[in-house]
Amino acid sequence: MSFRCAACTLFRRRCQQDCIFAPYFPPTEPDKFELLHRYFGARNVAKILQEVEDNQRAQAIETMYFEARSRVEDPVLGCYRIIAQLRKQIRETEAEIEKTHAAIAFYAHQPHQRNHF
């Protein structure tokens, strides 16, 4: 029996030697291609693959898969939710740093209250 990648299995077609999907979608993981096909359409996935160098294609697939899964988890925000959360975390951390700097400056100018520091 000849090899057939997850994409060609889904489309019930022969998997050609030069199949653009074959290296990234083994038949053992049908869900991955299925989700990408549902979110982007197989043609759009192929278009992105063609736009990037061979050695970056696996990474392009991973990030597209990441986007698709994030949209399943949150149909409104998709992976933007993660970006918003990280930005919030950075804002909070920056506020904490500012408070720490203010506290340091305060204690640095209170020589007699050193023990409270």
Instruction: Give contact residues for a second copy (rule: CB under 8 A).
Output: 38-41, 43-44, 48, 51-52, 56, 59-60, 63-64, 66-67, 71, 75-80, 82-83, 86-87, 89-90, 93-94, 96-97, 100, 104, 108, 111, 114, 117
User: With respect to a second copy, which residue has the nearer C-beta, 3 or 66?
Assistant: 66
DSSP 117: -
Question: Please, what is the minimum distance in Å from the beta carbon of residue 111 to a second copy?
Answer: 7
User: With respect to a second copy, which residue has the nearer C-beta, 16 or 100?
Assistant: 100
Tokens, residue 12: 């019930």
User: With respect to a second copy, which residue has the nearer C-beta, 4 or 46?
Assistant: 46
Going by C-alpha positions, the residue among 6, 9, 72 that lies closest to residue 33 is 6
The dihedral through the CA atoms of 4, 7, 10, 14 has a sign that is: negative
Question: Please, what is the minimum distance in Å from the beta carbon of residue 28 to a second copy?
Answer: 24
Distance, in Å, from the CA atom of 68 to the CA atom of 108, rounded to the nearest integer, reads: 51
Distance, in Å, from the CA atom of 98 to the CA atom of 106, rounded to the nearest integer, reads: 12
User: With respect to a second copy, which residue has the nearer C-beta, 3 or 92?
Assistant: 92
Contact 70, 81 (CB under 8 A): yes
